[in-house]
Amino acid sequence: MKLSTKAALVAAAVAVAAGLGVLAYFLITSMMAPSSTTEGSDAPAVIRPNSHVLDEGAEGSPTVVEFLDFECEACGAFYPIVEAIREQYSGDLNYVVRYFPLEGHFNSMNAALAAEAAAQQGSFEEMYHRLFQSQAEWGEAKESRADLFRSFAEELNLDMEAYDAAVADPDTQTRVEQDFNEGRALGVRSTPTFFIDGQQLQLERWEDLPTAIEEAVGKTMP
């Protein structure tokens, strides 16, 4: 990554976080999500066959996995950084996201259910963008915003009967909780948490994520 590009990413993050204390929140939060037991006895894996892949790189490309909570302010602050990274390394990076809804966020599970219901109709990424881009509108609400998320599904022209059925289906929540449970088994305690090629990143500064990805991509390029 060119220095100017990296500097732009850091500047964007700082602008988003200004006045919010988001970086401090990101570094200290370690909130518990809804408890449930992991089904099966398989060892925890960073990626599963049903994980949501936003980008597929060329053969041998490094793989980034993000455990996220759509209501998390720090995830919202990292969202423009992640999108810039995805654009910068299009074709050279695999990018995967997994759910990690935090208990202290009233609508984090509702948002994850909306995303998973959309995923069942092939529209996970579209809902992913809607949720993060609208986070300021619904984040930290103390009442359900499921109706708002349903309106996003309507805007995406989803089959609303199928969407409603998916949101109400206990298996949809089970799918979300499977990601959470596996994240906990892997050592995830806060969001966002990133892995590169199976190794968890320890981020202390905004620029640590683009720097780590730059290094990983560099190792795979001729």
Residues 51-62 have pLDDT tens digits of: 999 999 999 999
Q: In whole angstroms, what is the distance from residue 132 CA to residue 77 CA?
A: 9
- Strands 199-200, 193-196: pairing is antiparallel
CA-based nearest residue to 9, from 88, 70, 71? 88
Q: In whole angstroms, what is the distance from residue 167 CA to residue 73 CA?
A: 24
Question: How many CB atoms are located within 10 Å of the residue 71 CB?
Answer: 27
| Contacts with 189 (C-beta within 8 Å, 6 or more apart), sequence order | 30
Taking a C-beta distance cutoff of 8 angstroms, is the pair 173, 34 a contact? no
Report the residue count for the chain: 222
Residues 20-46 have pLDDT tens digits of: 444 444 443 433 334 333 344 478 999
pLDDT recorded at residue 25: 42
* pLDDT band (50, 70, 90) for residue 15: very low
Residues 84-137 have pLDDT tens digits of: 999 999 999 999 999 999 999 999 999 999 999 999 999 999 999 999 999 999
Question: What is the set of domains in the chain, with CATH numbers?
Answer: 3-220 (3.40.30.10)
